[in-house]
Structure 1
């Protein structure tokens, strides 16, 4: 049961963030209408039920109080008032802060926690359906290539057998037979080359798609911290009532759409929390001082995420009084970190604050003062092979008047410690790498097929759609020599297209809405490389931010596709833009539902009863599924009534009982019950309603509507669920 509880808690972590994200998006769009209030009510109701499953009574209590307030609005068809909106926001912040809890105890400095180690907790990620569709398409291509490969070997075996027969009994016309065998072998060789190319491209796409599953937007890790910060600031103000201000802060989140390795960002989450707590304490100043400095009346905290080359930069800024360099110097001298009566430069002083136990705060409280927070931040950055830096002021070009305000702490770490798929190409006498994620196609174009329009060269690009419609006119895509971007434009003559043996090798690169073909001398191979920062005097690190080591001590610079396309576009070369992301590969719906083969009469097999669980809470679904599967039931899942009906009507095997929640989007449990009872094919399936709604009117409505049982989630007992299902079967 302990492992089940851990799994449920991990699922609940993802579910509660999804609910809070939706509620905050509704509030951010303006005062919610009746539909918006109803959606918030449903989300809070689901959150309350999920919190009960994982025994988080504190979350359940907050959600229950808010649910009562929202119910009065929905029941009376009243619009949300400003105090209602404020109450919803405060409740979301309280839930967020409760889920964050106190930061973990600082790890020993000598043994920092490394993400992804043996002690890493099991976690879950949400994968877009489009990503799964793409993986299905790639798998389809790989299986098709495997089938072609089998046929290829079979044909080769046939030719080998024929050659052996001719060796034993020479044909009447050996020359003609030899010519026929030669043609057949040549055809097989060409087919093998096409097959190898198809497999290489499919495996490249599969590798990139699988790796992309681990890349998540920064908002999924840091987006929920805003509410926690606001709640911490309010609590800090209550604990220090003598200080000015009511504890309200404005939290800005920038770059939340930046994608990076989930493990890297997750490892930075606790350090970011430390920095935000420090900003609340050390950046706080009186309202009168803020007015005198011309600052906004409410303090502003900013969490920003940026990508620079192959490094992830996570910064926490405040607009408070800024670092006190004199106090830092005095404390450093007291600790023996600098000689007495010396005044090092600001950068040296600010680097000392990351020393364990360093703090300028005279008294410690539960938020700051022990001097361990910043040392934990530094150790976390070093564990990820990164660094951390403190600066005075806010480096925000959008607010030039705030340059001298506050403090900024920036952690710089590699985007991912994972290896990356890279296409190695030769261009202009150099071997460079192109990231596989940005390569849309690899082409071999005959010189006769090139089109020259207004002095610029294009290649025709046929649509690879599998539709039965007549083929469209090929699109024209610009093509330029890659070597033209690798040298110094002011010192090198114009570079011509590298045409070899009457054809052009082209890597079609697409990123940031641009698409262009880059011609190379030769495509060498696709390799999985460990990429590190490329730093050297005179190196164009913007174009080549990374370096890999495919062959011992011979490094290969890996180009940035965004920079490459940006420089091509800035140079004035015209080309069509991409309206949206392309999806390579076919969507596989799976085998159609059909009649199952009959069991032999002599050896009948008993089928395990199948239960369809319908609930919009993934935590509740996971709990019920685990319980039922443990006791021998087959389980199907649906998130609402619409999906449940679809499953019921297309399922290849019978469903023996339905266990459904009541509060769900699109179609609730009562409507699902009515639909099941109205369908002659489904009306015999017993329905069990299991919900948090325990009002007598709801119970009567369910039972009169045809439900065989009505269970409430309050005081849930798995034995009651099992006994109920056995009773209705």
Structure 2
């Protein structure tokens, strides 16, 4: 009986999630003012009540009954789905979900009394005078009581939409099946070697046939002479010729059969592998769906008002990937509640909507799974992060007159082990653990993580990982006799270019590559150089280079390798690389009968180049040039003189440009780093308080995000030394105010945009 109940509960666990998802989707539509099907959610609450009764879950049955009554009142018109009533219904849905989840550890969990009480108060407040119970709304058909799911095999065939069946399978059995299919596929891939051997044998037979024909002509002449003398070898030669021809035909037929069978087997194995891998994928809702309820519970416990939005949970990914991400995502959502939520008064003072928002969004991008956890709260405290980094020795102390490090660099430090800006731990915060657990999980999955400031408010963390934890398409390259794998997600293009096309920027070999109709100047680096091997020359074969163009974000670099071998889908196992090599190593791929292949991280390789060649990276190597000038381009004018700012603003706006103003270099730098405005060009004075034009220019060129933005310096200092200093720092132009001519300014801007 216990086993039967477990099967029934397993089927109910699937069914109740389907009903809850449908009801929540309808509530989200109602909250957004969009149409929804009230009759459908009423029937779902009714079916949920019947299913709970079938598996003897009275607490869920009672909650479902009250939800059913709420939707009936909405249909009667005595209750409206306002934000307050929707929040109460959500509390009821969360109560059901939490109670069912608790059954895994406790056969008799505590009933969700808070949810039951809240729904009862809502019903009491909406009950028409003089009535004790409510009736079905007119025209609403009675929903049938849900029948108990069939016990056979744990299957459940009454999913939403009808006709969908589920079968419970042990995860380890599924993984064993997947491994067996991969082994079969790898075995069949060796058919190519057999096919090549048969083709070679066919070629040898054709050569032997030609040689035999040539010898046969000579033998025929000799045979006629022998016959004239009374000999008898001609018949034996003809028999041998017939046997050789028959053998040749048999070999050709066998080779054709082998190719047909091998092709069909490979196609069948490919299809089988795809279907098994498809089975291994589960909707993200199955693993991460409960986090919405958890987050809403945390918001209520914190006494705050926030909307929790979950998007993209219908995406499917490897269960192991989602399971690995569940704890880090939970940690990030708790952080969003602990650090991100503000009181109503604080939000109102900043012009924010009264209700906060916390979100989890999943999306597919370039064959990768992208998870974004966001909130519209306070956002990262960059000053606090810098102070903690200095305290822990991650950054040197900064003089007061030096601009702060780039925000991107500061935000990357929060993923260091033990880094935490929380002075006191509570039940929500990570108790000093910080975000290193998130970075570690992303690394194990051969992915990346980044923290960013969200505009206009708040923060967001983006985790990017492969959809599958095991099988990945890899580009196999050879360098110095060693084979390396590069995940194709980070490979933008394969190139074979004449060595004569190489150029040089400050001693760094580069090449021009057309991407999207624009020339990108990409640095060319020998792969061993990034792997830490000294004096690695760029390999050249027959006057050509074999290059792999890697891309990470907007940055690109071209890896020079000896040979581009093949693209194969292989099983990649995790590998704990030591120290600094951890960022470069994505794992190890096992090829049957061959040595393990080290798999490198494209993002790690690009990051290593950016770190080692920061000066060249600041010169925008590997970045696509800005688009062609637009009449609506945004120009930042930086000058401490209000008269000069007003004059330049009027000149530029008359030409259709959008103009943003800053009073000095520090004000401009903060604006640029905040990302609030996408600036296409900066026109800056040199002599300004706090941070002058030279300091602003230097800070911009040291920040990889700001380095591509062109800068025009305008000043009354016209000495050759000042002009040279500005141009050496990277200014695009240097205009003196003594001979200021608005036509010259506009012409210079036109050339630089």
TM-score range, shorter chain: 0.3 to 0.5
Q: Looking at CA atoms only, which structure, 1 or 2, has the larger radius of gyration?
A: 2
Bigger relative contact order (CA 8 A; separation at least 6): 1
Q: Given the two structures, how large is their TM-score scaled by the length of structure 2?
A: 0.42
Length-normalised TM-score, structure 1: 0.43
Of Structure 1 and Structure 2, which has the larger fraction of its residues in helix?
A: 2
